Chain A
Amino acid sequence: MRAKRILYLLLREAGIGLALVLLALVFAAAAPRFASVANVTNILTQISINTVIAVGMTFVILLGGIDLSVGSVLALATIVGGLIITSETLSPGVAILLSVAGSTLVGSLCGLFNGVVCERWKIHSFIVTLGMLNIARGAALQISNSRTIFSFPDSFNEVGAATIFGVPIIFLMALGIVLAGRFILNRTVFGRLIYAIGNNEEAVRLSGHAPSLYKVAAFTLCGGMVGLAAIMYMMRLNIASPILGVGFELNAIAAVVIGGTSMSGGKGSMMGTLLGASIMGVLSNGLLLLGMGDFARQMVTGLIIVVAVIIDKYRAQALMRSSFQLEPVRPGEGKGDRGSP
């Protein structure tokens, strides 16, 4: 049974992992600088922010929803975090702590708003979060007077550039968040119900649960992740700005979908999301090293997203076929042998 499970997991995850390895090999062969320690560190730094946002997005997409507001909310969270951290009345240590809390709180509140409006009035999250996209961006510009905030404490800025054995600390944070997300999805009651609701909300309701509660929680969690991503982004850039994060929602959605999560909900995994974000990062970096211009890179990235989803579709069909063999369990072959003679 265990061997079978591992095989299944390999099939489910390997497709995308394999693509990542192949992609990396191709770039390593074509661009000598690609495989250097400095470049790998660079890639890991670059994918960290998108990975954290994509973790939150995975929860929402697993429920069949979508969150278009993450980029704007990220900007708003950096502004709130930035204002707190640069406050002159606080000592740097306290300021950093309060900044992390404030940023996460703002993100969570935006997510809570998204979730509550979607569920209370049964409006599709596409529209609600499209509204929040504008609300949060406007709020960020308003609060900051459309100015960039900088001169953060040195200790804060240093974390963004620090590495351990060439691995950026910021990436380790992202990895930790991925693992936490994976734990929540696979091991908790909350995660189980996320999958269940994504698959069949009515069945979950009739089983005695309140799906709305979990959906609101998922949006809130997604917002909280964006708040954390905002802090990490501030560590990296050493600034907070109301114009950060434009288009981040699309990168996060792309990472989730390339990672094999179904847009209609109910199917997907955190590790897939990490791999999806990695593929996007490797692709962008590799093409740059090959000397491809920004515009061409954007076209190729878009194409890869579409191709990835097409490939995933075929993989899903192959999996369906392989599990189909168990379909009609004949009398006498299954448990309890009351079969025909």
Chain B
Amino acid sequence: MRSPPPLRAGKQLGALGNASPPDIIEFQGTTKRFPGVLALDRVDLAIRRGEVHVLVGQNGAGKSTLVKLLCGLFAPDQGRILLEGEPYAPRSTLAAIRAGIRVVFQEFNLLPYLTVAENIFFQRLPRRAGLVDFGRLFRDAEAMLDQVGLEISPRARVETLGVAQMQLLEIAKALSTQSKVLILDEPTATLTPPEIHRLFEIIARLKARGVTIVYISHRLQEVFDVGDRITVLRNGRRVETLSAGDASIPRIVKLMVGKEMGEEYPFQPGIQVGAEILRVEDLRPRGRQHAVSFALHRGELLGVAGLVGSGRTEAMRALFGADARESGRIYRNGQEVPIRRPRDAVQRGICLLTEDRKAQGLILAMPCYANVTITNLGRVSRAGLLDGGAERTATQELVDELHIQTPSVEQLVGNLSGGNQQKTVIAKWLFRRSEVLIFDEPTRGIDVGARFEIYQLLWRLAAAGKGILIVSSDLPELMGICHRILVFSNGRITGDLPRDQFSQERILACAYHEYVQGRPRAGSSGAPAPG
């Protein structure tokens, strides 16, 4: 790790500035180089006190590097950063937090076996006579949870929470220190619309308190809902900073990719939906009250909508055999098939592309080819002996077909960008020649360009006669690419909408259907209460 630039200029500047400058953070010609890659290239960027500043850009554009400079994980190679007019060179994340800069990362940094309250106040637990004052701890935590509108017990263990709750908990944790600058990295990736709405209210409240917010998101619509100013980054350079009033989605996209994007969702009505390829009857995942039934056809893109916690993912996992189920029959091409384990499903041509690519989809420390061939090692081996040449050739074909950007098939998958990792997951199931593909949040955390490619890929797969299920929290995405959408609500399917009946209002009405009658039952945590 390089040492941060010296603090020489600090005192002089500090003596000058009694009146606080309008810019709370200023990057001056900041450059950060990694071996072989210029991650940030002479970036000048000013963030004003009390504004919500949105950073957008494709993966690898330099957003994360900027954030990591701010929170003390890296030091710039050239240029410098000013915090309230004074040179700012944190040596650790703790130093950054002390300086009042706090980041909520996309990946959670929670301690799963400790309570919610302990997680919030982990760095400074209230003490009495050297022991933790649990009474005060839980009271304080309760107040923090109220602030983010999270209705969970501060005594709950974090491992029992849903993803959306963890996200809000991370924010609560960040709010617990008096932060001047709060950096939110993709905070809405796992949230449902009402939760996002609540988050935006929280942001507005923080802003009113004078907290500066740096907001990073791939969902461009949010940029206008929440942002004051927008900075577009591309290939490590700042392309432009605009005020939200001057920006539009096409304009931002154009700045991000450096060219016109064309239509965002490539729906191709020409593709014919064929015979039934998969039918699910009376499928009840373990721990769920209700069962679901539905059918999927060849060439069909079937969307699965619903709030987080509505049982979408659970149903898909139970169907694939990843988790146990209470009941349910599964038919492939009209024939009932016994599926108890993922192996059974894979052998019947069904595959699941999980929400969490890094933890469940890929082996990050292994090369690209090993990740692809693992679904069908029999294809590249004889009598248990691997044929390394065949593995690499087969993988190279898929890499070319899917336009996976990697220097070679030997590259460790962990070194690929998010979009290319997702394509690698798709490649591994194409290698298996799977017929039914279940995608859980296929474009989560993926930049616009790669997203577009994945949509086109889905269409190519459908045109080739495969059946595709897509679970997504992004309604415009589902409406853009699917033939039909199933809407889950509190464990039931409350809507089965053909394309001509698609509308956000309709889908949301179905999604909330089961929550309107009364509060959701236990086990469906994460779903919002009515009203």
Contact = CB atoms under 8 A, between A and B. Distances in A.
A211 to B, nearest CB: 10
Contact of B405 (A193, A207, A334): A334
Given A196-B366, A325-B36, A328-B37, A206 B354 contact: yes
Given A199-B363, A329-B60, A322 B35 contact: yes
Interface in A302-341: 321-331, 333-336, 338, 340-341
A120 interface: no
Contacts of B365: 199, 266-267
A207 B346 contact: yes
A208 interface: yes
B448 to A, nearest CB: 12
A194 B381 CA distance: 16
Given A330-B235, A338-B403, A188 B60 contact: no
Interface stretch (B243-251, B266-274, B409-417): B409-417
Contact of A206 (B35, B37, B361): B361
Interface string A161-194: 0000000000000000000000000011110110
A204 B377 CA distance: 12
A340 B406 contact: no
A195 interface: yes
A3 B72 CA distance: 37
A329 B35 contact: no
A209 interface: yes
Contacts of B341: 205, 210
Most B CB atoms within 10 A — which of A321, A328, A330? A328
Q: How many of chain B's residues touch chain A, expressed as a range?
A: 35 or more
A324 B415 contact: yes
Contacts of B37: 325, 327-328, 330
A189 B405 contact: no
A1 B386 contact: no
A203 B361 contact: yes
Contacts of A294: none
Interface string A137-179: 0000000000000000000000000000000000000000000
A239 to B, nearest CB: 38
Contacts of B362: 200, 203
B370 A196 contact: yes
A326 B384 contact: no
Given A207-B374, A266-B365, A325 B34 contact: yes
Q: How many of chain A's residues touch chain B, expressed as a range?
A: 35 or more
A336 B363 CA distance: 24
A197 to B, nearest CB: 9
Contacts of A199: 363-366
Contact of A200 (B36, B352, B364, B407): B364
A195 B366 contact: yes
Interface in A25-70: none
B18 interface: no
Contacts of A207: 342, 346, 374-375, 428
Given A189-B381, A329-B420, A335-B405, A205 B363 contact: no
Most B CB atoms within 10 A — which of A189, A203, A208? A208
Nearest to B234: A340
B363 A192 contact: no
Contact of A329 (B322, B347, B405): B405
A208 B374 CA distance: 9
Contacts of A192: 370, 374, 377, 386
Interface in A228-246: none
B386 A341 contact: no
Contact of B417 (A328, A335, A341): A328
Contact of A204 (B345, B352, B374): B374
Nearest to A262: B365
A331 B404 contact: no
Given A1-B410, A335-B406, A340-B258, A325 B35 contact: yes
A227 to B, nearest CB: 22
B360 interface: yes
Contact of B400 (A209, A325, A328, A335): A335
A196 B363 contact: yes
B257 A340 contact: yes
Interface string B358-393: 011111111000100011011001001110100000
Nearest to B408: A1
Contacts of B8: none
B386 A187 contact: yes
A263 B407 CA distance: 30
B378 to A, nearest CB: 8
B406 A334 contact: yes
A138 B341 CA distance: 39
Contact of B343 (A210, A328, A336): A210
Contacts of A196: 363, 366, 370, 374
Contact of A189 (B35, B342, B384): B384
A208 B345 contact: yes
Contacts of A205: 322, 341-342
B173 to A, nearest CB: 27
A196 to B, nearest CB: 5
Given A267-B365, A322-B35, A336-B405, A327 B415 contact: yes
B432 interface: yes
A270 to B, nearest CB: 16
Nearest to A322: B35
A3 to B, nearest CB: 13
B11 interface: no
B209 interface: no
B359 to A, nearest CB: 7
Interface string B403-441: 111111011100111001000000010001000000000
Contacts of B403: 335-336, 338
B407 A326 contact: yes
A134 B378 CA distance: 40
B223 to A, nearest CB: 20
A187 B385 contact: yes
B450 to A, nearest CB: 10
Contacts of A204: 363, 374
Interface in B138-161: none
B356 to A, nearest CB: 9
Interface of A: 1, 5, 187-190, 192-193, 195-196, 199-200, 202-210, 266-267, 321-331, 333-336, 338, 340-341
18 contacts: A1-B408, A187-B388, A189-B384, A189-B386, A200-B362, A202-B360, A203-B359, A203-B363, A205-B341, A325-B37, A327-B417, A329-B60, A329-B406, A329-B407, A329-B416, A334-B405, A340-B235, A340-B257
Interface of B: 34-37, 39, 58-60, 234-235, 257-259, 320, 322, 341-343, 345-347, 352, 354, 359-366, 370, 374-375, 377-378, 381, 384-386, 388, 399-400, 403-408, 410-412, 415-417, 420, 428, 432, 449
Given A331-B449, A334-B406, 8 more contacts: A199-B366, A208-B343, A210-B343, A323-B412, A326-B411, A327-B415, A335-B404, A340-B234
Q: List 9 tightest A-B contacts by C-beta distance, closest first.
A: A208-B346, A334-B405, A328-B60, A325-B35, A325-B36, A340-B258, A336-B403, A329-B405, A199-B363
